[in-house]
Amino acid sequence: MAYGKSPLVRAVTATVTTVTAASALALTAVLGSAPTATAAVPTPTPGELTPHAVESTYVSGVSSGGYLADQLHVAHSGVFEGAGIFSAGAYDCAQGSVNTALYACMDTYMPRKTPAQLEQLTRQRAAAGRVDPVANLAGDPVWLYHGGNDRTVDRPVNDDLATYHRDFGADVSYDTSSAAGHAWVSPLGRVACASTASPYINTCGTDPERSMLTHLFGTPVNSATTAPLNGTLVRFDQNRHVPGGDAAAVSMGKDGFAYVPEACTTGSCRLMVALHGCQQTYGQIGDTFMAQAHLNEYADTNRMIVLYPQATTSLDNPRGCWNWWGYGGDTHYADKSGKQITAIMSMVRQLGGVRAAGGRRTLAG
């Protein structure tokens, strides 16, 4: 996730002061530990990512994962056909600065780039080939969610994300009706709706995943299964996908996961990249995010593979956040050359989610 306020802000400030003294940037949520989920999820099966008949590719995420989801969508808009984001701001809001990230792109004490300024930045990067042409964003479904009790990413910051995509002509659905705290919200969540508490998967008496998938796919989705999951949770080596072969060097975990429903072993399927927030990595909370995000249940009934890349903790990222402010010296964190973006795109490509010559696919049927 990202940071909270009150005692969380005090803890974050102390962390940032310490890290700055060590010449490192750490922007993370101050979250507590939580037990592994009790919801059913298949036991991970060691293996490799293998090609499937992927017909369309999407990305979703929460907080730091929401920021990275947007970065992936913008950088590779020729691949990703839409994005679903819980609680994050506009593309590259942080501008490579921990202070901007903290006090402008979560809190709003400092000025931040306007959506129009970030749109112009995106056009400049597209002209330089650092991100795909912005014309790809027009008409893309973008689903956004911000809870009324979210004090970690302020509402105006999330509003900027909506404006950014609307200005590029995206089909934006923006849900601000819930009383949720800062969290991924799911019927399988264990945290009270209005709370902001580990493991940051809240239940609010609604099914945001159904709304998100319906908007992204542009068609009603089949109901989530209530039966035991029929697919395989593949546990694969992320080192194979990271530039240089060392996942830890870019604050990614050794292992990533992909849920592959039985139907996707023989037929065409969609691909959803699902990005956890800070302190939601497998190394910190086990399979909780994968079990409670309520994506696998829809995957079984809607021909959808779910890829769960994993961040990890490191000296300059002690809470296991995704890189949306430039930690580790990655100055290209928000474009095609970003190390985490490159790694995730390698995973997407190996699953069959990218045409050999680029370009999008359309799901048949």
- Enumerate the active-site residues: 63, 150, 182
> β-strand 232-237 against 255-260: which pairing, if any?
antiparallel
User: Backbone phi, then psi, for 59, in 5-degree steps?
Assistant: -140, 145
Give the H/E segment covering residue 142. strand 141-145
Cβ 226 vs Cβ 325: under 8 Å: no
Length of the chain: 365
CA 140 – CA 59 distance, rounded (Å):
12
Q: In angstroms, what CA-CA distances link 122 with 90, 119, 327?
A: 11, 5, 20
Q: What single DSSP character describes residue 244?
A: G
Cβ 338 vs Cβ 75: under 8 Å: yes
User: Backbone phi, then psi, for 281, in 5-degree steps?
Assistant: -75, 160
Radius of gyration for the alpha carbons in the chain, expressed in angstroms and rounded: 18
Cβ 205 vs Cβ 193: under 8 Å: yes
* Residue from 266, 356, 277 nearest 3 by CA: 277
Token pair of 314 as six digits: 């490191």
Would you give the distance in Å from CA 170 to the centre of its chain?
18
Cβ 166 vs Cβ 148: under 8 Å: no
Say how many CA atoms lie within 13 Å of 276 toward its Cβ. Answer: 35
Residues 6+ positions from 148 with CB-CB distance below 8 Å: 176, 178, 179, 180, 194
DSSP secondary structure of 314-351: BTTBTT----SS-GGG-TTTTSTT-HHHHHHHHHHHHH
